[in-house]
Amino acid sequence: MAGGKLIMPLAAAAPAQACDTSRGRRFRVRGTWLLLLAPIAAFDAILFLTPLGTLVSSSMQNQAYQRVLEDPLVIKSLINTFEISAVSTLVTIVSGYLLAWAIWRSSALTRVVLFALVLLPFWTGVLVKNFAWAVLLQDNGLVNDALQGLGFTDHPLTLLHNRFAVVLGMVHYLLPYAVFPIFAALAAIDNRLELAARSLGAGELSVFRRVILPLTVPGVSAAGLLVFIISTGFFITPVVLGGPGDQMIANQIDFYAMELTDFAGASALALVLTAIVSVLVAVYQRILRAGGAHEVG
């Protein structure tokens, strides 16, 4: 009886001791990872938090927020920024989905060629691409000459220095950022799902709407978010391809900093744009999470 009483506490203590050992090992591993991440965190703080702190400090001077938000040109530029960014994002996502679909359905050799064409915009600078579009879209450019030669128009169309040209230049630059996330989502789809849907009598449109499109929503949402964030910061494209009424908020930031030498106002504008984009991103992600939870439910 005495031996039994001694063995039982020891047997009960063994799992607790093993649990404590495992917990201690996890703490040591976590501490090691924290030590390894400390230099990266310090580097990130230097490169991100320090400039951000400088912007915040500068924007608090001379009633900068009140001055810039009372400027009608700033309000117009903010409206332009989000209108142009929304249109560019929509066009980019639709074009990127079609191109990603073509790459996904193509043979191995054709896929390599199409990927090379998608990557081509990365091989030239954004300024070079914008001037190339300016040459193509001018009144006596290749596009107008082709339209008139084919009989579609009898006079040159105004294709340059307007919002159409700005959106076109932005989509050209942003397209790879949409193609790759969407293609990754398409490539992850199990072919057996499509075969199963077809075996049950689903047509092409039904397979796309009920199988493929829902499975690619994460890739589309990631691409849309990335493209929209990048598009809000465009500066060169509205200058080269747009008109006076198509300037975006980055152009106003440059004007305040370089022309007016009002660094407080430029800092305030940069932080206003950052805050608005951050709120939109948070709302966008919340909507996506709510939609995913609704589908699961």
Name the token pair of 117: 């064409």
Could you tell me if 161 and 206 lie in one domain?
yes
Q: What is the pLDDT of residue 1?
A: 47
Q: What is the pLDDT of residue 49?
A: 82
Helix, strand, coil percent values for the chain (each to nearest 5) = 85, 0, 15
Could you tell me if 29 and 3 lie in one domain?
yes
Q: What is the pLDDT of residue 163?
A: 95
Q: Give per-residue pLDDT as tens, 209-244.
A: 889 999 999 899 999 999 999 999 999 999 999 998
Q: Count of CB atoms within 10 A of residue 214's CB?
A: 11
Three-state DSSP state, 74: helix
Determine the structural domain holding residue 45 and report its residue range.
1-59
Q: What is the pLDDT of residue 183?
A: 95
Is pLDDT at 149 greater than 80 in this prediction? yes
d(CA 87, CA 174): 12
Q: Give per-residue pLDDT as tens, 20-60.
A: 555 656 656 566 777 777 888 888 778 888 888 888 998 99
Position with higher pLDDT, 48 vs 186: 186
Could you tell me if 103 and 167 lie in one domain?
yes
Q: Give per-residue pLDDT as tens, 7-22.
A: 445 444 455 554 555 5
Could you tell me if 24 and 160 lie in one domain?
no
Is pLDDT at 125 greater than 60 in this prediction? yes
Could you tell me if 189 and 283 lie in one domain?
yes
* Total domains, the chain: 2
Tell me which of 40, 59, 78 is where a domain ends. Answer: 59
Q: CB burial class (10 A; 0-12, 13-18, 19+) of residue 246? A: buried
Could you tell me if 216 and 245 lie in one domain?
yes
Could you tell me if 82 and 49 lie in one domain?
no
